Amino acid sequence: MARYTQDKEELTEQKAKKFNLWLGMIGMFMMFAALSSGFIVYTAGGVDKGIKTLLPEAFIYSTVLIVLSSLTMQLAYVAARKTAFGRQKLLLMATIVLGLGFFAMQVHAWGVLSGRGVVFVNPNASQSFVYIFTGMHLAHIIAGILVLVRALAGRIRNIDQVRNVFRMDLAALFWHFLGILWIYIYVFLLLNQ
């Protein structure tokens, strides 16, 4: 029988984990804000005025994939809360596949950039920032996919409902954050190409 209540110790532990997630996301936000600031200061110095190349179309497809994955993640979270476990598993798998598609599209975009002569180490450091922004985001996407896999594994192992919903809550929060972060990065890069 599934457990739908939790004791005080478990509640305290869950609050601590969620607080740590928020601290981590604030840290990630600050890191990308610092990268943005560094890019702006560097380009304002007059050495390189912007990226000086069009961003690959693959970034548009990446954006579509991350938005769709955010939708499937939210639907999986709702399914978990409604104890629609089959639907939750299916939607979590869809989110993972879309996340992997996002990853593949980003790597493809690097190939396109490299084919245009935009490489990580080059005289125009502004172009290097494209790799830094997208590479750092991809590192977090890998972490996000691992969180999604853990949530799926918990559902497959039939963990109790309290822990299931909590894992889904953390996974949804982190995945939505990564989606919003990508949209910020993409718009920032578009404005500076």
The mean per-residue pLDDT over the stretch 42-63 comes to: 82
pLDDT the model gives residue 3: 56
Statement: residue 122 has pLDDT above 90: no
Nearest CA-CA partner of 130 in 189, 42, 184, 172 = 189
Tallying the residues shown for the chain, one arrives at 193
pLDDT the model gives residue 11: 85
pLDDT the model gives residue 50: 67
Decide if domain 10-41+55-191 falls under CATH 1.20.120.80: yes
- CB under 8 Å, gap of 24 or more: what pairs does 32-41 form? 32/133, 32/136, 32/137, 32/181, 32/184, 32/185, 35/129, 35/132, 35/133, 35/136, 36/188, 38/129, 39/126, 39/129, 39/188, 39/192
pLDDT the model gives residue 6: 63
pLDDT the model gives residue 82: 96
Radius of gyration in angstroms for the set of CA atoms belonging to the chain, rounded to a whole number = 19
Taking only the tens place, the pLDDT of each residue in 65-83 is 999 999 999 999 999 999 9
Statement: residue 1 has pLDDT above 60: no
Taking only the tens place, the pLDDT of each residue in 170-189 is 999 999 999 999 999 999 99
Q: What is the pTM of this model?
A: 0.89
120 pLDDT band, cuts 50/70/90, is: confident
